[in-house]
Amino acid sequence: MQIADLYIRVSTDEQADKGYSQRDQHERLERYCNQNLITIAQVIFEDHSAKNFNRPEWTKYINHIKKRSLKSNLILFTKWDRFSRNAGDAYQMIKLLLSNNISPQAIEQPLDMSIPENKMMLAIYLAAPEVENDRRALNTFYGMRRAQKEGRLMGTASYGYVNKCTEDGRKYVGLKEPEASNMLWAFNEISKSKYALNQIRLKMNAREGANISSTSFYRAIKNPMYCGKIFIKAYKDEEACLVEATHESLISESLFNKVQKVIS
């Protein structure tokens, strides 16, 4: 008698980007079990990425397996990318499941594990999602690097600036008061070489709208974005460089360089 646990996984990003549905997966798995006279023991819903197996519900499931508290002999999911998007981790997990007499199976990509040649198909099913993840990450990296080379600040705006959006949806950063005036005051004070950096930070935090940690403060005064420059890290055969930014600068380049000499 076949008794199956149904594993239904969809991450928040996948549901937003591709329209994956837990309900749709559940219906397909139930239909498959009814057609093949498979008894359903439990249904496991997971809202987590498949980059690894550090998932809350999956961890609970493995703990039950190790305690020998399950009656099931199958774990079913719709496709292999619902099980894992990391080929190396997937092979180890499949081995663990089989050693506990539980057979993993994707109902839309079925494989008979007793046939050696099917291991090649399994490798393709497991590797394809991982390649897709890596390609998406690489495209994101290149896109952000290209935007930086064009002078655009990426990510959350630094202290003294704020992320904004134009009416047509274009994102940019602009000065934010009174934080911008606080940073301008701090740069000018540092350039005078009269007080230690932390003293200046504490004095600045006493001003209106200022509350910045020592780590954030030190990182900020070394950031060339305040003088209208963006630092591009070295990558492969490309050397590190500074490019002109599109946002409004807070201080002059000469003041920024003077401050760097003081803090060095």
pLDDT one-digit tens code per residue, 201-210: 999 999 988 8
Compute the average pLDDT of residues 221-241. 93
Whether 213 maps to a domain, the answer reads yes
Residue at 140 is within a domain: no
For the segment 208-231, the average pLDDT, to the nearest whole number, is 93
CATH of the domain at 250: 3.90.1750.20
- The answer to whether 250 and 241 have CB atoms below 8 angstroms apart is no
Distance between CA atoms of residues 222 and 111, nearest Å = 56
pTM above 0.85, yes or no: no
Residue 241 has pLDDT above 60, yes or no: yes
Mean pLDDT of 36-60: 92
Residue 228 inside a domain? The answer is: yes
60 lies in the same domain as 125: yes
Question: How many domains does the chain fold into?
Answer: 2
Name which of 68-77, 86-95, 184-193, 211-220 the model is least confident about: 86-95
The answer, yes or no, to whether residue 15 has pLDDT greater than 60, is no
pLDDT exceeds cutoff 90 at 169: no
Q: What is the pLDDT of residue 16?
A: 43
For residue 149, being part of any structural domain is answered with no
Of 135, 150, 171, the one marking the end of a domain is 135
CB 104 within 8 A of CB 6: no
In a domain, 152, yes or no: no
Average pLDDT value over all residues in the chain = 90
DSSP class of residue 85 equals S
Last residue of one domain, picked from the residues 92, 119, 135: 135
pLDDT of residue 160: 93
| Domain of residue 256, residue span | 161-263
Q: Which of residues 119, 135, 151 is at a domain's end? A: 135
**Residue 31 falls within a domain, yes or no?**
yes
Are 85 and 45 part of one and the same domain?
yes
Residue 23 lies in a domain: yes
Q: What is the pLDDT of residue 88?
A: 82
At 129 the pLDDT is: 76
212 in the same domain as 118: no
DSSP conformation letters of 195-251: S-HHHHHHHHHTSTT----HHHHHHHHT-GGGGTEEEE--BTTBPPEEEE-SSPPSS
Residues 61-99 have pLDDT tens digits of 999 998 888 889 999 999 998 998 887 888 899 999 999
What pLDDT score does 77 carry?
Answer: 96
User: Which CATH number fits the domain that encloses residue 17?
Assistant: 3.40.50.1390
Is 73 a member of any domain? yes
pLDDT for 204 equals: 94
Give me the pLDDT at residue 224, please.
95
Res 130: pLDDT = 76
Instruction: Burial-class residue 129 by CB neighbours within 10 Å (0-12, 13-18, 19+).
Output: buried
